[in-house]
Amino acid sequence: MGDQTGSTLSRRERQIMDILYRHGSATVAAVHAEIPDPPSYSAVRAAMRVLAEKGHVTHARKSHSYVYTPTSPASEVQKAEARRLLDTFFAGSPSQAVAALLEEADALEPDELAELQALIDAARKEGR
């Protein structure tokens, strides 16, 4: 596993990782086919090589292609990216981020509100 928390992802790298997490693993061609408004094939290949150098993915040769696989669970990367988002746009404040999300939501369903309340309650119990 690489130094994922210290290595931020570019927009394109996040797109690639999203595709890899959805599929579990994929070739450059498969990723290229799914990227919205894709760059050249060689640019996708280069970005995937950078992800491997950063330790976000591993690759193995299968037939005539390399298959890339994420090295960490999506939840781990989500936490690191959420921390980056909090630090960059919300001065590290989760409450400011939640307030911004709630302002943008047209309406939350009762089950969504209950889920949020359960998460708040669990955080309080854990002393967070």
pLDDT of 122: 93
* Contact present, 60 and 66 (Cβ < 8 Å): yes
pLDDT of 98: 85
In order along the chain (128 residues), what is the average pLDDT of each group of 10 residues?
57 93 96 94 96 94 92 86 89 88 79 89 88
Q: Can you state the angle between helices 74-89 and 11-23, rounded to 10 degrees?
A: 150
Tokens encoding 69: 């696989």
C-alpha distance from residue 94 to each of 88, 89, 90, 110 (Å): 12, 10, 7, 22
pLDDT of 7: 62
